[in-house]
Each structure stands twice: as C-alpha cells, then as structure tokens.
Amino acid sequence: MIELNLMRLGVSVLSTAMLLGGCLAPDGAVASSDPVPVSPITVPTLSKPNIIIILTDDQGYADVGFNGSKDIPTPHIDRIANEGVRFDRGYVSFPVCGPSRAGLLTGRYQSRFGYDLNSSEDPTNPRAGLPLSENTIADVLKPEGYTNGILGKWHMGNHPIFHPHERGFDEFFGFTNGGHNYFADRYNDIAVADAKSSGQLYNTKLMLGTEQIETSGYLTDLLSDAAVDFVTRNKDELFFLYLAYNAPHAPMQAPPRYTDRFPDIEDPTRKIYAGMIAAVDDGVGEILDTLKAQGIDDNTLVFFLSDNGGPLKRAKNGSINKPLRGGKGDLFEGGVRVPFAARWPGQIPAGIDYPHVVSALDIMATAAELAGADIDNDKPLDGVNLIPYLNEPAFKTVPHQRLFWRYRENSQDDNSYPRVGMVEGTSKYVKYGRNEMLFNLEGDKGENDNLKDDDKKRHKRLKAAQQEWSDKMMDQQVPIWNTWSSPNTPNKR
C-alpha cells in the first residue's frame, strides 16, 4: 500500500517539476526535457493562491469515502483527497466546536488565550467570544490583497464587536452562534440581540453582513450557492473563503431529495445524517466545478476538514468514528482526529496518503506563508506551512514532533475533567481527571490497550511534556464562560 502511494507520488512530483519548469519558461513550454528534481523544502511559490477552507461540523472520521465510508459515498469531497492529499492523521486542536474554530482561525493553540471551553453565547456580553487581541486568518490575509468571505457558522461571539466584519472578513452570510435550523420555515423573527438562550439562536433569521434577512430554502444549499457566487464574483482577484457548513451538526434535518438517496440505511438518524452530508458533498462538487470553469483551479488551495469528531452522546447525529475510540468531546482519537484533506493542483502532488501528524493549526501557517503575510512576533503560530512537507520525497521530515490538547469544564459533577492529551509520533498520552492512559497508536488505532504501567519511562516523558506545554498556556478565561447559558443548555455545542 505504501509502495503504491509512493509510486503515485513519484509520478506526481515529476509532473510538478515539469509544471514548475513550464511556468518559468516565457512561452509556457517546459524548458528542459530533463526536469530538475524538486527540492522538498524549497519548492517555489509561483504566486499567492486563493484559499478555501471547507469546514463541516461534527462529521465522523469514518464518514467520508476517502476514509472508507461505504454507506455514505462522498465522491466530490473525495476529489479533494484523490487529486491532492489525504491526511489520515489530521487533528483539530479541540474536540468541540468553539475552541476548535478559535484554533483554526488563529493558527494558535486556543489555550494560549484561555479558550479551553465553548464560550457563553450571550449576545450582550462583550467578553464572550474570540479575544479581540487575536488575529484571524482573514486579518492577516487582508493586507496581502485578499477579499475575505465567511459563509455559515461563525461561533466566535454573538456580541457585535465579534462580528466577522470586525475580524477581517469583507463578506458574511450565515449566523454568528453555534448552530442553526436548516429549513427557513423553522426560523422566526427573533433578533440575535434579543435571544435569551442558545436554543433561541437556532431560530434567528440568517444574517447577510450585519442584517438579518428573509431567506427560503435548505440552509446547506444556500451556503453552497453563496460559495459558488463568491468564487465567481471574485475570480479575478485574490480571495479567501471560509465555508463553514453547520451540517451535519444537529438538529437533524434534511429534505427527501437527499435522504431518498439512502434507502439502505435503516437507522432514521443516520439516514438524515447521510442526507445532510450528501447536500454538503453536492455543494463541494459545485464549488470544485466552478473553480475549473472559471480557470482558477490551479491557483486555489482547498482544505476540507471537520471541526471535531462525530458526537456519540450529546447532540448525537448518527455519525461513525470507527475504528477510533470515542467522539466529540473526547481527547481520544474519535474526538480530535477528523476527515482532513487538501488539494492544490500542480503544487500538492495528487494522490498522497500522508503518514504524519498534521493539525488544523497548520492551515493558518500555510495560508500566511503563501500569502507572504507578516505574523506578529508576540503571537507565534503553532502550525507550519504544509506545502514543502507534501513535496518532500518519501516524507522524511515530520511537520510536528508533538501535538497537545487541553479541555477544561465548568461542570463539577463529572470527574473525567479536566482532560489533557498529547501525541508524539504514534505515542499518545491522555489524562481524564486522575485517570492516566498511554497508547501506541501503531497497531492500536482504537486506543484499547493502556500501556501506562508497561512503559513507565515513556509515560513519564509524555506526561512531563504535556505539563510543560500546559504551563506555557493561559489560564482559562472564566469570565467569558457560561454567564448566560447554563452548561447543560441543549445545543450549547
């Protein structure tokens, strides 16, 4: 299997070298019949690419075709992996929505700014959201000439000071809270500012810019249509599109035209879940087709990932993370290891099955470096530009020696908190409350065999490394948590 992938990579690297050579020649022809081997860490960036992040919400690791799903085919999402790279070990920085997005959008461990928990959704609280001291991807791309759009779920604060327009985005269509009903006839007239609970926010009208507007139709389709429109309108300029589908996050809602595609799925929740993913997959296909039709396919870097693993408990949606252990909320693999792929024709060799650990934090670092953006020295990024690593023959260099997680919880009645974890290669350390675990993911992908007492030296080393990292992070910003919604509010995630 590895040999096959390397062969595919070898062919692709050759193609890349020829493409690079061709681009350097004035007439577009390949300058030499003997392509110069591409040096992995010095692949030239020919021009700034457009960047698209397609984020799904609560999609299970196993629920994409490129990770083996049979009952829910995702042919369009699979194109991203098949024509680019599949990250088998692609991790998010947190196992629930809000902090995961705070990490993704800043490229920094959200624990650096105390974002260790979903914040309150109180629209009147000017402290409950992504701290204004942090820069988003949109903030750093804006000065480099990018037009920035966000479509879908924001979840980085409902108070107007946290609005996407205040965080580097030029355009916004979607909702600022953590989730939403999908059918327009289930919304009502409540203004975001007047909402008194997370549940009410699911019923607010969608926002275009800062205005709540009338819409009709199925939300996932609206977001896909808006993405196609955004790409088409901005095809002649540099753009960054953050397409944050709330699908397949609860509430479970999909029209028959999608659920009817799955007559063999008997579980009613999973059938709707499958329909919700089918809608996303159709949208991804339309976006990829638009890139090609507009002639910007080769100049657009597309990432696809889920913000956390599939939920098996609260907000259960019928997802499957197997063979991984656990789900949303967990620091086991099922909570943080997600469907993850990227595609950039000519710059990411096609058909890579990447073996090393990568992080959602890498997206910001990749985008910033490709755009030539300046990064504030006081706010170092925790990710790396992945493009050189993906062009390295045999992938000898790892992007990350270690990744870390920290999840605190206000609830005092659950002794499985705080939760911390880390990976170092295939070694994994997890601590739930006082319960410590050590796993070797090689041969134990499902984290079944606790090796803590068998490999005391490794356990001690990883535990110390985790503590050392945690000590450098900020204490949890308690004032922004749960000043409005109780920890047990339905849909709070």
Question: Catalytic residue positions?
Answer: 97, 155
Q: Which is nearer to Ca ion, 308 or 491 (CB)?
A: 308
Question: What is the C-alpha to C-alpha distance for residues 414 and 74, in angstroms, rounded to an integer?
Answer: 37
The type of residue at 210 is: T
Piece of 51-59, 190-198, 225-233, 360-368 that binds Ca ion (CB under 5 A)? 51-59
Give the number of residues in contact with Ca ion, rule: CB under 5 A. 5
Q: What is residue 287's three-state secondary structure?
A: helix
Most distant pair of Cα atoms in the chain: their distance: 69
DSSP at 455: -
CB atoms within 10 A of CB 133: 9
- Dihedrals phi, psi of 93, to nearest 5 degrees: -90, 0
> Of 61-69, 303-311, 434-442, 443-451, which part binds Ca ion (CB under 5 A)?
303-311
307 forms part of the interface with Ca ion (CB under 5 A): yes
Residue 57 touching Ca ion (CB under 5 A):
yes
Residues 86-115 that bind Ca ion (CB under 5 A): 97
Kindly tell me which of 84 and 95 has the beta carbon lying closer to Ca ion: 95
Does residue 476 belong to the site contacting Ca ion (CB under 5 A)?
no
Q: How far is the CB of 454 from Ca ion (least distance, A)?
A: 35
Residue among 45, 49, 92 nearest 321 (CA) = 92
Query: CB of 309: closest distance to Ca ion in angstroms?
Result: 9
Sequential DSSP letters for 296-361 = -GGGEEEEEEESSPPPSSTT--S---TTSS--TT-SSHHHHB--EEEE-TTTS-TTEEE-S-EETH
Q: Which stretch binds Ca ion (CB under 5 A): 140-148, 220-228, 237-245, 301-309?
A: 301-309
| Identity of the residue, 58 or 170, whose beta carbon is nearer to Ca ion in the bound complex | 58
Q: How many CB atoms lie within 10 A of CB 59?
A: 33
Q: Which residues pair with 436 in a beta bridge?
A: 431
Q: Give phi and psi for 305, each to the nearest 5.
A: -160, 165
Listed in sequence order, the DSSP H helices in 397-472 are: 456-472
Residue 329 CB, nearest approach to Ca ion (Å): 10
Cα distance between residue 160 and residue 158, in whole Å: 6
**Considering only residues 28-47, where is the footprint of Ca ion by CB under 5 A?**
none
Q: Which of residues 48 and 180 has its CB atom nearest to Ca ion in the complex?
A: 180
> What is the token pair recorded at 193?
């500012």
36: burial class by Cβ within 10 Å (0-12, 13-18, 19+)? Answer: exposed
Taking the least distance from each CB to Ca ion, the nearer of 171 and 307 is 307
Q: How far is the CB of 98 from Ca ion (least distance, A)?
A: 8
- Smaller CB separation from Ca ion, 57 or 139: 57
| Least spacing, CB of residue 103 vs Ca ion, in Å | 13
Dihedral (CA of 57, 58, 60, 61) sign: positive
Among residues 97 and 312, whose Cβ is nearest to Ca ion? Answer: 97
How far apart (Å, rounded) are the C-alpha atoms in residues 287 and 490? 33
Q: Site map for Ca ion, 368-397, x if CB under 5 A?
A: ------------------------------
Residue of 493, 359, 354 lying closest to 423 (CA atoms):
359
Stretch that binds Ca ion, among 56-64, 174-182, 213-221, 454-462 (CB under 5 A): 56-64
Site for Ca ion in 404-463 (CB under 5 A): none
Rounded to the nearest whole angstrom, what is the least distance from the CB of residue 307 to Ca ion in the complex?
4
The secondary element (H helix, E strand) that includes residue 152 is: strand 147-153
Site membership for Ca ion, residue 58 (CB under 5 A): yes
- Structure-token match 């990447």, residue found: 354
State the nearest-atom distance from the C-beta of 154 to Ca ion, in Å: 13
Residue 246 touching Ca ion (CB under 5 A): no
CB of 305 to Ca ion, least distance (A): 11
Q: Count CB atoms within 10 A of the CB of residue 349.
A: 23
Min dist CB 306 to Ca ion, Å, is 7
Q: Does 466 bind Ca ion (CB under 5 A)?
A: no
Would you count residue 253 as binding Ca ion (CB under 5 A)? no
Please say which residue, 58 or 281, places its beta carbon nearer to Ca ion.
Answer: 58
In the bound state with Ca ion, the residue whose beta carbon lies nearer, of 58 and 297, is 58
Work out whether 177 is an interface residue with Ca ion (CB under 5 A): no
Amino acid identity for residue 40 in this structure: P
Report if residue 330 touches Ca ion, rule: CB under 5 A. no
Q: Kindly state whether residue 308 participates in binding Ca ion, applying the rule CB under 5 A.
A: yes
Q: Which residue is at the shortest CB distance from Ca ion?
A: 97
Q: Are 382 and 360 in contact (CB under 8 A)?
A: no
- The piece of 58-66, 331-339, 350-358, 380-388 that touches Ca ion (CB under 5 A) is 58-66
Angle formed by the axes of helices 268-293 and 75-82, nearest 10°: 50
Name the residues that contact Ca ion, by CB under 5 A: 57-58, 97, 307-308
